[in-house]
Copies of this chain bind each other. A is one copy, B any other.
Amino acid sequence: MRIAIYGYGNLGRGVECAVRQAPDATLVGIFTRRSPASVHPYGDIPVYHIDELLKYKDAIDVLILCGGSATDLPEMTPALATDFNVVDSFDTHAAIPAHFDRVQAAAAASGHTALISAGWDPGMFSLNRLYASAILPDGKDYTFWGRGVSQGHSDAIRRIDGVKDARQYTVPIDSALEAVRSGENPELTTRQKHLRECYVVAEEGADLARIEQEIKTMPNYFADYDTSVTFITEEELRRDHSGIPHGGFVIRTGRTGWEGEHKHAIEYSLKLDSNPEFTASVLVAYARAVCRLAQKGDYGCKTVFDVPPALLSPLSAEELRATML
């Protein structure tokens, strides 16, 4: 399959790496809104301005969209699904149904296959919620995130007066995880599920007490959580907090038996050194599926829920049955 990358930030760079690991994929090029000369891929890959994209229409089997969910993808995915098979990582959960409808209209009308909301949440976590709830209908599931960097919360801290830089970690609370695993079906408040750890570089002479207070009382972002604030130097931030790790847990517990006498727990967890590179690896696997669906004429908008798992693997159905079943 011939893949092209649309947008070259952290996610686009991750896709470049992931395509190299796919035995059946080649990277046609990187398309950017910036000046192509200012973009430096890891490998020897051509970089084009997005204005040139349509010229390469016949050279691209799947276009992987590496824009952001806030403003890029809501416009980008329906627009590009008119001319390309596409995969995106749209992750604004509440807006997925509307995004689906717009992409579906574009892809179905033009005869393309578009897969939206791939990644790990939405994505692999969604799949695990679905499988587990289908198997254990008399049960309850819980999703925990972290330990990992939240870009949105880090940005919120940076906007505070006197803050030079910041990194925020979302941390699942062990006692809550244990209560869930035990099958007690606890009702957990926001505060009981996750902690927020903030590492902040303040400007010289800034009022640290005021910054800490502003963080801890910030509505939506921090006020509902137990939040710790640690002031560190710029050098410490660079040395100890330059990675983008993340991960989390999907746990469903449920009961079976004539009287519900037997308990079961299904747990899926991820521990990721690089959030964007893992997300990119999911996008490339789903690009393979999109390519195969489009070849069969199965057009329109899809999600991870619609894709037979076998389509993600470079192995044939026979090989999969012989080696993985």
Interface residues of A, Cβ cutoff 8 Å to B: 14, 16-18, 20-23, 42-43, 93, 96-97, 100, 117, 122, 124, 126-131, 133-138, 181, 256-258, 261-274, 277-278, 280-282, 285, 288, 303-310, 312-314, 317-318, 320-322, 324-325
Contact = CB atoms under 8 A, between A and B. Distances in A.
A18 B131 contact: no
Identical subunits present? 2
A309 B317 contact: no
A325 B96 contact: yes
Nearest to A93: B325
Contact of A321 (B96, B269, B307, B324): B96
B274 A262 contact: yes
A18 B138 CA distance: 10
A269 B267 CA distance: 5
Contacts of A277: 256-257, 262
Contacts of A306: 308-310, 317
A305 B325 contact: yes
Contact of A270 (B20, B266, B288): B266
A16 B134 CA distance: 16
Contact of A117 (B129, B138, B269, B325): B325
B273 A264 contact: yes
- Among A93, A117, A131, A269, the one with the most B-chain Cβ atoms within 10 Å of its Cβ is A131
Given A21-B137, A129-B324, A97 B318 contact: yes
A260 to B, nearest CB: 9
A275 to B, nearest CB: 10
A274 B266 CA distance: 13
Contacts of A130: 309-310, 312-313, 320, 324
Contacts of A324: 126, 129-130, 133, 305
A137 B306 CA distance: 22
A117 B322 CA distance: 12
Nearest to A265: B271
A127 B23 CA distance: 21
A321 B95 CA distance: 10
Given A17-B256, A127-B131, A265-B272, 10 more contacts: A96-B321, A124-B131, A130-B310, A131-B309, A133-B313, A134-B314, A257-B277, A267-B267, A305-B320, A309-B309
In the A-B complex, the 5 residue pairs with the smallest Cβ-Cβ separation, listed nearest first, are A262-B273, A134-B312, A305-B310, A256-B277, A262-B274
A202 to B, nearest CB: 30
A145 to B, nearest CB: 15
A308 B305 contact: yes
A62 to B, nearest CB: 15
Contact of A305 (B267, B274, B317): B317
Contacts of A312: 130-131, 134-135
A303 B321 CA distance: 8
